[in-house]
Amino acid sequence: MAKYLTQRFVYMVITLFLIASLTFFLMKIIPGTPFSNASKLSEAQLSIMIDKYGLDEPVPVQYANYLLNLLKGDLGVSFQFNNVGVTDIIVNSLGPSATLGALAILFGTFFGIILGVISALKQNTWVDYSSTFIAVLGKSIPSFVFAGLLQYYVGVKLGWFPVAFWRGPEYMVLPTIALAMFPLATASRFVRTEMIEVMESDYITLAKAKGASWFEIAFKHALRNALIPVVTVLGPLVVSLMTGSLVIEKIFGIPGIGEQFVKSITINDYPVIMGTTLLFAALFVVVILIVDLLYGVIDPRIRLAGGKK
Amino acid sequence: MSQEKIAKEMFLPAEVDATKSEEISKPSLNYWQDAWLRVKKNKGAIVSMVILVLLTIMALVGPLLTNYGIDQQNIKHNNLPPRIPVLEKVSWLPFDGELTRKNGDVYNAYEMKNVDNYYWLGTDSLGRDIFTRLWKGTQVSLYIAFLAAAIDMVIGVLYGAISGFVGGRTDNFMQRITEILVGIPNLIVVILMIIVMDPGILSITIALTITGWVGMARVIRAQVLKLKNQEYVLAARTLGLSNGKIISKHLVPNLAGVIIINTMFTIPNAIFFEAFLSFIGLGLQPPLASLGTLIDDGFKVLQLYPYQMIIPAIVISLIMICFNMVADGLRDALDPKMRD
């Protein structure tokens, strides 16, 4: 176990280091400086700015400085605001993103599991077919299309929920639904497949023979085992949440990481782009590791490499 | 008892013919015939295939059906809603050229602007015909997706096959590379690559393929590892077949199912990413159109002219749904796990 963990940790560090270097050098290749839009700057001002941000030093020196600062948790200074650290920007916009992501994954997996259980129990009936249909829609329709339509029909036409911004619980409804569609679809598909398999096993037959109610059988006996493989899709789900957050935060005007990232791309704010990229990458790598570890913990039948024999 | 009344003569000894007991009563089917039989049973997959073929045909001939060019602007005719001859008489269809104002008034935009032309799916804010642009956009999106999927397939199959077949230190080294690549979310790589290269059909395709092939490579490697130890490969080797021949004649045909399934899942993924990039401002530049840029343009005027977003949104959703359904159907039909 310790060997496995160390190995995984080394890979994690290598991956993050590669991503950090990749973002750094890619940002260096991009033609133009961040100040190319600010035409009003005089030559002297420009050279002061370039000097201040260390842009006049040779690239290897900049790279070394960047990596050193990175270790200290300093992601540099944003170009778009005066002297605001990227770390501060990220910390400030982390709240809405984390809330939205957590809500979406809770809401999505909860209803996904319910949908999956119901369609497994009512296999090959109209209930099953309609939940399959919902799952196919949820998996296929791009989140930004769905979010746009939700915003227009539920927000504007019906006026049930606020159309945009992030000012209270009612503002969270539409973005959460839009972001939760993919987790919902994925979870329901997985739970359905697993439930069908589990329902055929001997211990379910025993529970039935004992006279347990269907509710008890479904939720107490079957679901517990059916849920194990769902943990494996948590990785892809987090990725989908990250992708989704970029567009959904843009559509609904939520001041989160995703919106910040998209904004930075359009105005060439390299430090923020690099910072958010690293954050996304770190999140991704950590989630994958947690999922792999969880999998071994939840299901005693699976032992990670190097585990007890 | 009534049973006792059954006469002995009514019974005949069963004929046991050892030669016939192993007779094959059904025609023997090869892998593909068998798979086709199973796909045929899946109605969703068949319907999806038909829709995809129709959409592809429309993407190719659609832009030629109208008299408008893809970037032909007519500012006087901007933001016209869909109007189709004959169908405009059917009141419940949205093809009558009518628009709703924010206060609920319904008015005919064509009469207001004195336009006699018929724009089947309306025009956008620059007065470009949406029908023409829609199919051109579908064409571009499909082109990017197919190209990306094809490149992924070639690199992934080669990498996976070499890694799995050669084995040993080569395999170990190649696996370390993929392990690191898998750790990098492709969303980030794609966005970074597009920031560096200017958005265009080719740069989007390249960005999509940079990490896209890894999934294919891993699946192929696992399959090759399993297949290369099977008896028929040993037999081929004993008969003196070269490695290249073994790969091309014995392994690749057996990998075809996995390759097809994986590619079918790559295509909708690529379409999604292309649209996604357009939506966050990293898509194709005008006058080029793709489904993503059309949705992005439509989204900006969604409240006033909803049809401008809804039309491309329907097409992209349809493509995504159909590809997913076909891929699911093919996986069920070709899945090697079910045949082992």
Which of the two residues, B94 and A219, has the higher pLDDT score? A219
pLDDT of residue A208: 85
CB pairs under 8 A between A and B: 104
Which bin fits A302, alpha (ψ -120 to 50), beta or left (φ > 0)?
beta
Of A23, A30, A247, the CB nearest to B280: A247
pLDDT of residue A306: 44
Identify all chain A residues contacting B325, using CB atoms and an 8 Å cutoff: 136
Identify all chain B residues contacting A273, using CB atoms and an 8 Å cutoff: 195
3-state helix, strand, coil in chain A (%, to 5): 75, 0, 25
The residue segments making up the domain with residue B318 are 45-67+128-338
Query: Would B121 be classed as within a structural domain?
Result: no
Which of the two residues, B158 and B18, has the higher pLDDT score? B158
The answer to whether the CB of B211 falls within 8 A of the CB of B184 is: yes
User: Can you tell me the distance from the alpha carbon of A62 to that of A55, in angstroms, rounded to the nearest whole number?
Assistant: 7
Token pair for residue B95? 């093809």
Which of the two residues, A33 and A153, has the higher pLDDT score? A153
- Residue type present at position B306: P
Task: Please enumerate, as own/partner, the contacts of A234-239 that have beta carbons within 8 Å and a separation of 24 or more.
Answer: A234/A287, A234/A291, A234/A294, A235/A287, A235/A288, A235/A291, A236/A186, A237/A105, A237/A108, A237/A109, A237/A182, A237/A183, A237/A186, A237/A187, A238/A105, A238/A283, A238/A284, A238/A287, A239/A284, A239/B185, A239/B187
Q: Chain B neighbours among A 130-189 (CB < 8 Å)?
A: 136-137, 139-142, 144-145, 148-149, 151-152, 156
Interchain pair B272, A136: CB under 8 A: no
Interchain pair A284, B306: CB under 8 A: no
Mean pLDDT, chain A, as a whole number? 79
pLDDT grade, residue B339 (50/70/90)? very low
A250 touches chain B (CB under 8 A): yes
User: Can you tell me the distance from the alpha carbon of A14 to that of A16, in angstroms, rounded to the nearest whole number?
Assistant: 5
User: Can you tell me the distance from the alpha carbon of B32 to that of B39, in angstroms, rounded to the nearest whole number?
Assistant: 10
Interchain pair B321, A281: CB under 8 A: no
Mean pLDDT, chain B, as a whole number? 80
Same domain, B247 and B316: yes
Q: Residues near A119 by Cβ (< 8 Å), separated by ≥ 6?
A: A127, A128, A131, A132, A188, A192
Q: What is the DSSP letter of B1?
A: -
As a whole-number percent, the residues of chain B with pLDDT over 70 amount to 88
* pLDDT tens per residue, range B77-109: 777 777 776 666 666 667 666 777 666 677 776
Query: Would B319 be classed as within a structural domain?
Result: yes
| CATH architecture classification, A86-302 | Orthogonal Bundle (1.10)
* pLDDT tens per residue, range A52-72: 666 777 778 888 888 888 887
User: Can you tell me the distance from the alpha carbon of B271 to that of B144, in angstroms, rounded to the nearest whole number?
Assistant: 7
Identify all chain B residues contacting A140, using CB atoms and an 8 Å cutoff: 268, 317, 320-321, 323-324
Does A36 have pLDDT greater than 70? no
B301 touches chain A (CB under 8 A): no
User: Can you tell me the distance from the alpha carbon of A24 to that of A12, in angstroms, rounded to the nearest whole number?
Assistant: 18
Token pair for residue B93? 């269809």
User: Can you tell me the distance from the alpha carbon of A60 to that of A67, in angstroms, rounded to the nearest whole number?
Assistant: 11
Which of the two residues, A309 and B274, has the higher pLDDT score? B274
Q: To which residue do tokens 């509710």 refer?
A: A215
Locate the chain A residue with the closest alpha carbon to B283. Answer: A266
Same domain, B173 and B215: yes
Does B159 have pLDDT greater than 60? yes
pLDDT of residue B172: 82
pLDDT grade, residue B268 (50/70/90)? confident
Which of A77-81, A166-170, A197-201, B334-338 shows the lowest mean pLDDT across its residues? B334-338
Locate the chain B residue with the closest alpha carbon to A279. Answer: B188
Same domain, B159 and B308: yes
Same domain, B151 and B238: yes
User: Can you tell me the distance from the alpha carbon of A92 to that of A73, in angstroms, rounded to the nearest whole number?
Assistant: 15
pLDDT of residue B340: 37
Interchain pair A265, B282: CB under 8 A: yes
Does A35 have pLDDT greater than 80? no
Does A93 have pLDDT greater than 70? yes
Same domain, B104 and B192: no
Same domain, B185 and B92: no
Interchain pair B280, A22: CB under 8 A: no
Q: To which residue do tokens 């050229």 refer?
A: B97
Interchain pair A145, B303: CB under 8 A: no
User: Can you tell me the distance from the alpha carbon of B95 to that of B130, in angstroms, rounded to the nearest whole number?
Assistant: 13
Query: Would B11 be classed as within a structural domain?
Result: no
Read off the pTM: 0.80
* pLDDT tens per residue, range A174-204: 888 888 888 888 888 888 888 888 888 888 8
Average of pLDDT values for B296-318? 83
Q: Chain A neighbours among B 127-186 (CB < 8 Å)?
A: 179-180, 183-185
Q: State the smallest CA–CA distance between residue B271 and chain A in angstroms.
A: 10
Same domain, B189 and B212: yes
User: Can you tell me the distance from the alpha carbon of B299 to that of B125, in angstroms, rounded to the nearest whole number?
Assistant: 12
Query: Would B102 be classed as within a structural domain?
Result: yes
Which of A14-23, A164-173, A188-197, B292-301 shows the lowest mean pLDDT across its residues? A164-173
Interchain pair A281, B324: CB under 8 A: no
Locate the chain A residue with the closest alpha carbon to B100. Answer: A157
CATH number for the domain spanning B220: value is 1.10.3720.10
Average of pLDDT values for B311-329? 87
Average of pLDDT values for B6-31? 76
User: Can you tell me the distance from the alpha carbon of A93 to that of A257, in angstroms, rounded to the nearest whole number?
Assistant: 5
Same domain, B87 and B49: no
3-state helix, strand, coil in chain B (%, to 5): 65, 5, 30
Locate the chain A residue with the closest alpha carbon to B188. Answer: A277
pLDDT grade, residue A307 (50/70/90)? very low
Kindly report the backbone phi and psi dihedral angles of residue A179, in degrees, each rounded to the nearest multiple of 5, phi listed first: -80, -25
Domain count, chain B: 2
DSSP for B128-174, written as a single string: -BHHHHHHHHHHHHHHHHHHHHHHHHHHHHHHHHHHHHH-HHHHHHH
pLDDT of residue A81: 67
- Residue type present at position B298: G
The residues spanned by each domain of chain A are 86-302
Of A31-40, A179-188, A229-238, the range with the highest mean pLDDT is: A179-188
Of B192, B195, B320, the CB nearest to A142: B320
* pLDDT tens per residue, range A246-304: 888 888 888 888 888 888 877 777 778 888 888 888 888 888 788 777 776 776 665 55
A257 touches chain B (CB under 8 A): no
Same domain, B94 and B222: no
User: Can you tell me the distance from the alpha carbon of A77 to that of A291, in angstroms, rounded to the nearest whole number?
Assistant: 33
Nearest CA-CA partner of A253 in A74, A125, A100: A100
Identify all chain B residues contacting A137, using CB atoms and an 8 Å cutoff: 317, 321
User: Cα separations (Å) of A74 from A77, A278, B21, B264?
Assistant: 9, 12, 78, 43
pLDDT of residue B101: 67
Token pair for residue A112? 């996904």
As a whole-number percent, the residues of chain B with pLDDT over 90 amount to 1
Same domain, B164 and B225: yes
A22 touches chain B (CB under 8 A): yes
Query: Would B278 be classed as within a structural domain?
Result: yes
Selected residue of B51, B279, B290 to mutate for chain A interface (largest A Cβ count, 10 A): B279
The answer, yes or no, to whether the previous bond of B287 is cis (omega within 30 of 0) is: yes
Identify all chain B residues contacting A246, using CB atoms and an 8 Å cutoff: 187, 276, 280
pLDDT of residue A38: 55
Token pair for residue A183? 């987790």
Same domain, B87 and B206: no
pLDDT grade, residue A244 (50/70/90)? confident
Q: Residues near B9 by Cβ (< 8 Å), separated by ≥ 6?
A: none
Of A136, A142, A250, the CB nearest to B280: A250
Does A229 have pLDDT greater than 70? yes
**B123 in helix, strand or coil?**
strand
Selected residue of A145, A273, A279, A288 to mutate for chain B interface (largest B Cβ count, 10 A): A145
Same domain, B56 and B200: yes
Interface predicted TM-score (ipTM):
0.77
B286 touches chain A (CB under 8 A): no
